[in-house]
Amino acid sequence: MAKKKKSSNSRTAFRKHHQGRVRGGDLTRDFTGGKEMADLSRGERVSGKGDLTRKRTIVSETESEEAASKAELISGRVISAHGLKCKVMADDGSMYECAIRQVLKSLSIDGRSAVVAGDFVWFRADTPQDGMIERVADRHGIICRTSRGQQHIIVANIDYLLIIASAAQPGLKPVLIDRFLLTAKQCDVEPVIVLNKVDLVEPTSMQPIIGAYAAMGFRVLMTSAEDGTGVDYLRELLQGKQTALAGQSGVGKSSLLNVVQPGLGLAIGRVSTDNDKGRHTTTASQLIPIEGGGAVFDTPGIRQFQLWDISAGEVAGLMPDMRPYVSSCRYPNCLHLSEDDCAVKDAVADSRIDARRYDAYCHLLEDDLLVED
C-alpha cells in the first residue's frame, strides 16, 4: 500500500500588529499568592522563545489536496482593487464583489496590498454576487513604484506598458518617461511610448525626442484622440495582449481608450489652465476587456513616480544609451555626475548620448535616489 505523501511545512512571516502576548507571565503567581512560586523556575512558556514569534508554520498541501481544494473554488481575475473590496471577474464572465481572506492580509510582504488589479485568484462564492478571495496565483509582469516606503504594485500580469505622454497640455516630461522605462526594464515588460495630443503641435517639432528614443530601440507611436492619428495602429497593438496604460494626469489615457473601443464611456477631465496639470478622473487601476481579445488597464494619473528596488548605481546600466560606456569609467562605482574621467560624461560632450537624456538621468538621481541613500 502506497504511503500518503506528507505535507511540507514552511515558516512564513506575518505583520507585527497581528501578533500579541496571550497572557501575562506571572498569572499563576498572582492567583496562588504564594511567595515560594518566585523561587521556582518558570517551566511553562507561551512559546519556546518566550514572547510570541511573528512567524507561523504554514502547512503546504500535497498536489492532490491542492487540486481538490481549488476544485471547490472559482477562478477569476481581479478587475479592480480598492480598499477592502475587490471586483473579480470569473472565467465565465460573472462579476463578484470579493473580500480578502484575513490570512492573506496578515502576511508580512513588501507591498501595500496582498491583492492587486490583474491578479489571477481563486475565490469562494458566498452569494451570486459576493465572495471571499482564498488564493492568489504567482505574478509576472508587474508595474510598481515606491509609496511611503513600501512597494505599491499598480498592475500585475501584463505584457505591454504603454507610457502615455502628451505633446502639449500638459507638456512633455522626459524624466517621467525614463522612470517608466526603467521600471519596465526591471520588471521585464515591453514598453511602448505613446505621444498623444500631437494635433496641438507641429509634428516636426517632436522628431528630435522621437529619434532619441527610437535610436535606443523603443517603439514610439504618435496619437491623437481628437483627429484619430495612430488610433488604428494602437487598436491593433492591443489585440490579444495584456496592456497597462501609465502616465501623468491629463495626458489622455481614458480619451484614447474611448476612441479605441467606442462605447466605454470612461470619464475624462480637462487640463487646468492655471498650472498645466490634469485632474484625476481615474481613481484606481481597472481592467477593461478589449473586443477581439486581450485587456487593458486604465491606471490613475501619476505626477510622481518613485522607483522601487533600483539603486542609484544601477540606473545607468538600465539605460540602453548609457550602458555601453559605464564600464569605461575610471571608477567602478562612478555615478556619472561629478566624477573625473567619466566615459558617460565624455559621450554626452561628444553628442553620442542625447543631452536631454543625460539631464533626465541627473534629475532622477539628484531628486530621488541619492536622497534615499
- For residue 22, report the phi and psi dihedrals to the nearest 5 degrees: -75, -40
End-to-end CA distance of the chain: 60
Was 98 annotated as part of a binding site?
Answer: no
CA angle, 288 then 294 then 295, to 5°: 20
Query: What span, in angstroms and rounded, lies between the C-alpha atoms of 284 and 302?
Result: 11
Was 196 annotated as part of a binding site?
Answer: yes
Was 88 annotated as part of a binding site?
Answer: no
Please list, in sequence order, all residues whose beta carbon lies within 8 angstroms of the beta carbon of residue 353, skipping any fewer than 6 positions away.
321, 322, 325, 344, 347
Was 253 annotated as part of a binding site?
Answer: yes
Was 7 annotated as part of a binding site?
Answer: no
Nearest alpha-carbon partner for 180 in 162, 199, 201, 206: 162
Was 261 annotated as part of a binding site?
Answer: no
Query: What span, in angstroms and rounded, lies between the C-alpha atoms of 327 and 310?
Result: 19
Q: Which residues are bridge partners to 131 per DSSP?
A: 98, 125
Three-state DSSP at 205 gives helix
Was 255 annotated as part of a binding site?
Answer: yes
Retrieve residue 108's grid coordinates.
508580512
Was 252 annotated as part of a binding site?
Answer: yes
Q: Is the peptide bond before 208 cis (omega within 30 degrees of 0)?
A: no
Distances (CA, A) of 211 to 63, 222, 357, 359: 52, 12, 12, 17
Was 251 annotated as part of a binding site?
Answer: yes
Was 254 annotated as part of a binding site?
Answer: yes
Was 336 annotated as part of a binding site?
Answer: yes
Query: What span, in angstroms and rounded, lies between the C-alpha atoms of 278 and 348?
Result: 33
Was 70 annotated as part of a binding site?
Answer: no
Three-state SS sequence of 287-350:
EEECCCCCEEEECCCCCCCCCCCCCHHHHHHHCCCCHHHHCCCCCCCCCCCCCCCCHHHHHHHC
Q: List strand residue ranges (DSSP E) for 101-254, in order.
A: 120-125, 130-136, 143-147, 150-155, 160-166, 190-196, 219-222, 242-246
Was 247 annotated as part of a binding site?
Answer: yes
Please report, in range form, the residues annotated as the binding site for GTP: 196-199, 247-255
Query: Which positions make up the binding site for Zn(2+)?
Result: 329, 334, 336, 342
Q: Which residues belong to the annotated binding site?
A: 196-199, 247-255, 329, 334, 336, 342
